[in-house]
Structure 1
Amino acid sequence: MHLYQNQALKLYNSLSGEKETFVPLHEGAVGMYVCGPTVYSNVHLGNCRTFISFDLIFRYLKHLGYKVRYVRNITDVGHIEDDADEGEDKIAKKARLEKLEPMEIVQQYSVDFHQILELFNNLPPSIEPTATGHIIEQIETVKKIIENGYAYESNGSVYFDVVKFDKTHHYGKLSGRNLEDMISNTRDLSGQDEKRNSQDFALWKKAEPEHIMRWPSPWGDGFPGWHLECTAMSTKYLGNHFDIHGGGMDLKFPHHECEIAQNEACTGQSPVNYWMHANMLTLNGKKMSKSTGNNILPREIFSGNNDKLSKAFSPSVARFFMLQAHYRSILDFSNDAIVASEKGYNRLMEAIESLESIEAVKISTLDIATWRQSCYDAMNDDFNSPILIAQLFEGVKFVNLLKDGKETITAQDLELLSKAMNTFVFEVLGLKNESAEEGNNEKLESVVNMLIGMRNEARANKDFALSDQIRNKLTDLGIELKDSKEGTTFSLN
């Protein structure tokens, strides 16, 4: 029996504006799509918060026993500045400034993105498609929308006819906007004469002669609109109708609204059952912004090389800080807040380490089963990580009472307590016990140095067979020895 069969999970659906009981389309399986990064710069800390939020959701669904297909894209076409239909492609602009090929920019920042998320201990998605790898699918989607009468070609570009779509569907249902109000509030933009209406958005843009990233299409050389890629890739890997679509709150309009319109115009059905949005991260009470200098990058937190924090903080402490707020609430990042988080994180890790030294007796004075269910109740209530963390600190209290001999516990309950603490802290919240890892590294170093000493002794005694045996065994374990005039050092492969 899977855990999901006796845990009723509720999640907040941005489409209905209510918490709803989660019922997947196919029993035991979940399809989830999350909008990934546009790789033209180092990953923003606010984006990291979104990806950590959906990593928590991915982890908990897996823990409940669901088979999850988690698709998160890479936008490597470089959509237009400010996500409008006019302006300069962000990746092409960066490539021009740095005198590099656009795909060098994409590679550089894709690698950075993956490295940062790995440091945060995010699990990789099941599939990570790229926009440039799905140009054919995007062109086919545009063809289908034109065929169904909801798009038109204009001067080599193709636009989505929002007014026509709104007559038979509802454009604005996710963001709660009214099309007439949107049109009346829109100022005239350059290039507007190509469109029938100000709210029409590009499905395919004609590439001007200087535009580097371009592909042939039935409408001439061009590149896909930003909203189109997610429609093409989500439906390719999850089908025309799937369970969860997530992203940052800033994507609700226009990006996700346009996705719904494209899907409905293409397939005739609403694509997603549950829309989920993670809220923003502020810094010292203000919006993060490179231009104002109110900004900090993940690596600057880990290294301490910044003017915002009193010292360096580890990735697990930064992750713990983010999970102390609910994913739908605004979270303010500050020195005081992360210092407090580090203290809480250390208390949690100390308690987990202390569990090993607690001795069981024949009678329990603590109700561990009810406490464990309260941890599930927190996560079942729209993935409420701050309430879960509060419950885990109740578990820390239990551990301290047991350590001090003020409460007693049976072997069965001790196993239950230990398993629940470890499961929720490491498997669900995705934290790492960094002090334990450092301790393990120190032990490994001591053992390898001892073996290097034995090998040096064997070489001095001309026992080259033993010397080679030690080197070969370490190589098999991924530990490479390097001999020099100064002595022998080692590195992990």
Structure 2
Amino acid sequence: MPLYKQHSLKIYNSLSGEKEVFTPIHEGNVGMYVCGPTVYSNVHLGNVRTFMSFDMIFRYFKHLDYKVRYVRNITDVGHMVDDIDEGEDKIAKKARLEQLEPMEIVQRYTVDFHDILDKFNFLPPSIEPTATGHIIEQIEIVKVILEKGLAYESNGSVYFDVVKFNENNHYGKLSGRNIEDMMANSRDLDGQSDKKNPQDFALWKKAEPEHIMRWPSPWSDGFPGWHLECTAMSTKYLGNHFDIHGGGMDLKFPHHECEIAQNEAATGNTPVNYWMHANMLTLNGKKMAKSTGNNILPGEILNGDNEFLSKAFSASVARFFMMQAHYRSILDFSDDAIIAAEKGFNRLMEAMDNLVTIDFAAASSLDIRAWEDSCYEAMNDDFNTPILIANLFEGVRFINLMKDGSATLSETDLKHFSKLMHAFVFEVLGLENEKLLNGNNDKLEGVINMLIDMRNQARVNKDFTLSDQIRDRLIALGIQLKDGKEGTSFSL
């Protein structure tokens, strides 16, 4: 039986403002879309936290035996400076400043994005579409919205008619905004815009003569609006109605609000069942910003080349630090905080190392089932990683008691306990045992292959107790064996 049938998972839905029991549209399957980066600069630490939150959520769905299609896009056109419809494209501006082609900028910072996420042990998404790869789909959606009378063309650009849409729908349902209040608080356009109303947003923008990134359309040579890109890519791969849409809290308005409006205008359906938003990361109690200098890049944490930290920290320590806070809470990054996280991380890894060396005894002095339930209860309560970590440290305490001979577990319970600790520490939280990673890889590979040979021989001799023991102890170290037609392989 798949694990998801044994658990009731609750997710905080930003649309309703409540925790709701997760019921997928198709049983056993999850469709999740997360707004990815605009690749015009090095990915900043706040974005890494957002993507890490959804990496953890992706991992937990997989742990529950769901089949997950996780789509996370790359925005490589159409995201204007200051997130408005007028002005200059962020990528085009960077290309102009550095005297490069826009796609050179895209390539440089897409590589940086993947490199950083790989260092922090992210699982790759199922699909990673780009905005420029879906221009045709975006043009087709604009045509549909125009045909329904919910958009208008103006001087080669096409804008979504928010006021018209709001006659039979609710623009503002996600952010809790009222269109009358928005109109009352907005400035007059003074004839400087092609829009009918300030709240209207671009579906397609006519490119000015100096604008390099441009594509032909029925209305003009131009480029798609930022909001439209995510609508096109999410619905192409997940359908007009899918389970989860995620992103940073800063995207709730206007980006996600506009996505909902576009989807409802084009299809008549509410596009997403559960909207999820990760909260922001601050630095020393203040908002992170390049303009103020209160900013640190992920790579600067790893190499120590910054003015905020007393030394370099590993990616797993930084990941553990972020997992100690709930994804919906504001998290403050500081030297003291990550030093404390490093101590906790080292305690956890030391316990995982010790777990491999512990033998079982006939008696049992830990209620494994109750401890297991507490771990799942934490994750099933809107992915509450801080509570999960507290429960894992209860497991650490017990490992230390077993090591000292003050507590024991039966063979069956010890195997089950080891498997659960491994699953939550390495698979769900995505932490890595750095002693293994930082060791001599050639020697490590040789030792693991020797153990695989010993296990294979044990299986030939029908010594399944030894075979299982080798496998389970490697798992406890974060080393996963995979038996296939061509033999046994391993992954760290």
Q: Quick one: structure 1 residues 191 and 73, their matched pair in 2 at CA, closer, same or farther if it must change by over 3 Å?
A: farther
Q: CA RMSD in A?
A: 1.3
| 1:406 to partner: Cα distance | 1.5
| 1:91 to partner: Cα distance | 0.4
| 1:259 to partner: Cα distance | 0.1
| 1:78 to partner: Cα distance | 4.2
CA distance in 2, matches of 1:337, 1:73: 32
CA distance in 1, matches of 2:109, 2:446: 37
| 1:437 to partner: Cα distance | 2.0
| 1:227 to partner: Cα distance | 0.1
Higher Cα Rg: structure 1 or 2? 1
Q: Quick one: structure 1 residues 190 and 105, their matched pair in 2 at CA, closer, same or farther if it must change by over 3 Å?
A: farther
Q: Count the aligned residue pairs.
A: 447
What residue identity is the alignment partner of 1:271? Answer: P
2:201 match = 201
2:66 match = 66
1:238 match = 238
CA distance in 2, matches of 1:71, 1:409: 42
2:468 match = none
| Superposition TM-score, scaled by structure 2 size | 0.89
CA distance in 2, matches of 1:226, 1:20: 30
2:350 match = 350
**Residue 178 in structure 1 maps to residue 173 in structure 2:** no
CA distance in 1, matches of 2:192, 2:232: 26
For structure 1, which runs of at least 5 residues remain unmatched after alignment?
448-493
Instruction: Give deviations 1:99-119, integer Å, cap 9, x for gaps.
Output: 000000000000000000011
Contact 2:280-2:329 at 8 Å conserved across structures: yes
CA distance in 2, matches of 1:323, 1:134: 34
Contact 2:78-2:225 at 8 Å conserved across structures: no
CA distance in 2, matches of 1:192, 1:243: 40
What residue identity is the alignment partner of 2:118? Answer: E
Contact 2:78-2:224 at 8 Å conserved across structures: no
Contact 2:37-2:73 at 8 Å conserved across structures: yes
2:6 match = 6
| 1:358 to partner: Cα distance | 1.3
Instruction: Give deviations 1:354-408, integer Å, cap 9, x for gaps.
Output: 0112121111011111101111110000000000000000000010111112112
2:102 match = 102
Contact 2:78-2:223 at 8 Å conserved across structures: no
Q: Quick one: structure 1 residues 193 and 86, their matched pair in 2 at CA, closer, same or farther if it must change by over 3 Å?
A: closer
1:468 match = none
Structure 1 stretch displaced more, 372-381 or 253-262: 372-381
Contact 1:138-1:228 at 8 Å conserved across structures: yes
1:126 match = 126
Instruction: Give deviations 1:210-234, integer Å, cap 9, x for gaps.
Output: 0000000000101100000000000
Q: Quick one: structure 1 residues 166 and 425, their matched pair in 2 at CA, closer, same or farther if it must change by over 3 Å?
A: same
Structure 1 stretch displaced more, 111-120 or 433-442: 433-442
What residue identity is the alignment partner of 1:180? Answer: E
2:328 match = 328
- The runs of at least 4 aligned residues of structure 1 exceeding 6 Å deviation read none
| 1:126 to partner: Cα distance | 0.3
1:48 match = 48
| 1:196 to partner: Cα distance | 1.0
Instruction: Give deviations 1:58-101, integer Å, cap 9, x for gaps.
Output: 00001101000000000001411111111111100000010000
1:304 match = 304
Contact 2:71-2:126 at 8 Å conserved across structures: yes
2:212 match = 212
CA distance in 1, matches of 2:137, 2:230: 11
Contact 1:86-1:191 at 8 Å conserved across structures: no
Identity of aligned residues (%): 78
**Residue 93 in structure 1 maps to residue 89 in structure 2:** no
1:362 match = 362
CA distance in 1, matches of 2:352, 2:203: 52
CA distance in 2, matches of 1:78, 1:167: 28
Superposed counterparts of 1:359-398, under 5 Å? 359-398=359-398
Structure 1 stretch displaced more, 413-422 or 273-282: 413-422
CA distance in 1, matches of 2:189, 2:338: 43
CA distance in 2, matches of 1:445, 1:124: 24
CA distance in 2, matches of 1:213, 1:265: 27
| 1:441 to partner: Cα distance | 2.9
CA distance in 2, matches of 1:190, 1:394: 64
Structure 1 stretch displaced more, 59-68 or 354-363: 354-363
For structure 2, which runs of at least 5 residues remain unmatched after alignment?
448-492
Contact 1:72-1:125 at 8 Å conserved across structures: yes
| 1:192 to partner: Cα distance | 4.7
Contact 1:40-1:78 at 8 Å conserved across structures: no
Secondary structure at the aligned position of 2:340 is classed as helix
Q: Quick one: structure 1 residues 423 and 313, their matched pair in 2 at CA, closer, same or farther if it must change by over 3 Å?
A: same
Secondary structure at the aligned position of 1:177 is classed as coil
Q: Quick one: structure 1 residues 109 and 193, their matched pair in 2 at CA, closer, same or farther if it must change by over 3 Å?
A: closer
